[in-house]
């Protein structure tokens, strides 16, 4: 390997190492309060969706603690959501599971059961695309229904 290539490789590796260290530090900082962050997200999602059909059925407006959540919202599987998702896809109904605009529907492979459909709302979509394609180098996501 030529001296120029060695210098270039060392420089690139140094930059990558610094960026990786910075990313680890950011992740560590964010994970310091992981439980609190998760609870805040849960309660924000429930507040935002308390007037959906599902939110009314399980009294999201009453949920103020994790204990309330455990009492009001039953354990669920895809089969519990499938009828709502089908209505959203085929009948165009809104405010069933979420108040957020749906950006994308996807067909799952069924790796842990039968294939099913899921959806991604705008905040999830934005987070996914920013993470997958940093610095805006990403193709415009398809907003079509699958």
What would the pLDDT profile of 76-119 be if each residue is shown by its tens digit?
988 898 899 889 989 999 999 999 888 777 776 666 555 566 66
Report pLDDT digits (tens) over 59-74.
Answer: 999 999 999 999 999 9
Task: Report the pLDDT value the prediction gives residue 28, as an integer from 0 to 100.
Answer: 82
Which pair of tokens denotes residue 6? 């060695």
- Whole-model pTM: value is 0.61
115 in helix, strand or coil?
coil
Average pLDDT over residues 120-134: 56
pLDDT band of residue 143 (cuts 50, 70, 90) is very low
Write the DSSP string, 65-108.
SHHHHHHHS----HHHHHHHHHHHHHH---SSS-SSPEEEEEE-
């Amino acid at each position: 390997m030529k001296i120029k290539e060695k210098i270039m490789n060392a420089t690139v590796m140094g930059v990558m190492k610094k960026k990786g260290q910075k990313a680890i530090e950011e992740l560590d900082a964010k994970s310091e309060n992981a439980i609190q962050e998760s609870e805040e997200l849960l309660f924000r999602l429930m507040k935002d969706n308390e007037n959906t059909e599902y939110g009314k059925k399980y009294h999201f407006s009453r949920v103020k603690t994790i204990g309330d959540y455990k009492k009001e919202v039953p354990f669920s599987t895809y089969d519990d959501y499938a009828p709502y998702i089908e209505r959203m896809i085929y009948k165009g109904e809104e405010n069933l599971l979420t108040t957020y605009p749906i950006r994308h529907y996807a067909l799952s492979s069924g790796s842990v059961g039968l294939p099913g459909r899921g959806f991604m709302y705008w905040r999830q979509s934005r987070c996914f695309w920013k993470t997958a394609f940093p610095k805006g180098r990403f193709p415009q996501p398809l907003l079509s229904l699958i």
